Amino acid sequence: MTGPNQQVVLSLFPGADLFGKAFESRGFCVVRGPELLLGQDVRDFHVPAGRFDGVIGGPPCTKFSACRNRKQSPDAADLIDEFARIVDEAKPGWMVMENVRGAKASPHIRKDWAAYTVRDYDCGGMTNRTRTFWFWPGGFFDIAEKPEVRKDWPGPLLTLLASDGSRSHSGGWRSKGHSGIDIVEAARIQGYPEVGKILQKANEKKGLSKHLGVRYLGNGVPRAMGEWVADLVVRCLAIGAARFPHRTREGECETMSEIEKPDAPDEFWCWVGQDGSEYGRLIVSASSPVAAARQFAEEGCEMQNGACVAIRVLTHDGEVYEVTLVARNTFAYQTSRRRWPKDVKP
């Protein structure tokens, strides 16, 4: 994996793209996906594999939002499946999805996405907004440490919402919407006063609705929270890059097309990379997929202490496992193991 200054990131469901701006502030090149307000439908959006290093975004969450007027519409949005589809198409090295905590109930959340819930105020922001972020690969982000909970007085400001309401730090609802907040103030609360000035000019010159502008900002990830996430990604990229030198010894492969099911129960094909082209070789005389992955890493991987690596393992009966290892001077710690679905072909 390369550093942030060399990484291209796709931002989905951008809106004002406050989340993308946080990544830009850390040196990432952010490309923005389709935006509904511009008449673009994410369902029609497709990307070629391998063009983006990372994918970020916050799919519409009205189906799971706690502030949804208590009268749930049967067609309330849940576009997490579209986010997952595009990630599958893009085949990035990593991804981060933002959403409300209630989105954990979505059937489209993948089991190998690691979830972390944080509050903007604890990240150094102004609001009480709490959001959950899902990271993939999960083991890669195991180094995540939640920010310390702040208990200072007077506490966070009200939370700016995308719905027709705002919420105080005590959790009470204000049902009259954002009538007392203008675009500039809303942007300041979210940590982006410069964005507020731009939207305010649009309001004056092009008749942008103040109400729409405030809701537009309310959909975004506050600056401090977004930069906490971006900093975590930068840190993971810095310590999590495993290097598997290409070599041509007998028993190694250069592409997935060279991989065949092992002949014996104690033989395993191990590889890294989306298609095995990064590095792969046959491991013999191993007792299990985990043992094979450890042997594979110890023999062919150059990693810094604390780094993570996800290794895929093919057994003689056609099962594919993903084993995540963490380097602690030696590869002694297995952080996760999962069996791939039956329809996944090695």
- Tens digit of each residue's pLDDT (9 = 90 or more) over 41-79: 999 999 998 899 899 999 987 666 655 544 444 445 679
Stretch 302-312: mean pLDDT, rounded?
A: 67
**244 in a domain, yes or no?**
no
Same structural domain, 94 and 232: yes
pLDDT confidence of residue 204: 76
Q: Using the predicted structure, report yes or no on whether residue 167 has a pLDDT greater than 50.
A: no
Domain identity same for 200 and 325: no
Residue 140 pLDDT grade (very low, low, confident, very high; cuts 50, 70, 90): low
Q: Are strands 54-57 and 94-99 parallel, antiparallel or unpaired?
A: parallel
> What pLDDT score was predicted for residue 281?
77
Is 181:196 a contact under the CB 8 Å cutoff?
no
Q: What's the domain count of the chain? A: 2
* Measured distance CA(279)–CA(117) in Å, rounded: 35
pLDDT given for residue 262 in this prediction:
85
Contact 343, 275 (CB under 8 A): no
User: DSSP letters of 161-211?
Assistant: -SSS-EE-TT--EETTTTTT--HHHHHHHHT-HHHHHHHHHHHHHH---HH
- Whether the CB-CB separation of 240 and 1 falls below 8 Å is answered with yes
Please compute, for residue 343, the number of CA atoms within 13 A of its CA located in the half-sphere on the CB side.
0
Choosing from 177, 208, 239, the residue where a domain stops is 239
pLDDT greater at residue 222 or residue 283: 222
The C-alpha atoms of residue 105 and residue 117 are separated, in whole angstroms, by 14
Domain co-membership, 32 together with 124 = yes
Q: Quote the pLDDT of residue 3.
A: 56
Q: Could you tell me the pTM of the whole model?
A: 0.67
Phi, psi of 180 (to 5 degrees): -95, 0
Domain that holds residue 320: 252-339
Count of beta carbons in the 10 Å neighbourhood of residue 83? 24
Tell which wins on pLDDT, 148 or 65. Answer: 148
The three-state secondary structure class of 92 is coil
Q: Are residues 219 and 260 in the same domain?
A: no
Looking at the structure, tell me whether residues 310 and 220 fall in a common domain.
Answer: no
- What average pLDDT does the chain have? 76
* Average pLDDT over every residue of 309-325: 79
Last residue of a domain, one of 192, 218, 239: 239
Greater model confidence, 249 or 305: 305
Name the domain boundary from 239, 265, 292.
Answer: 239
Run of H or E residues at 289: helix 289-300
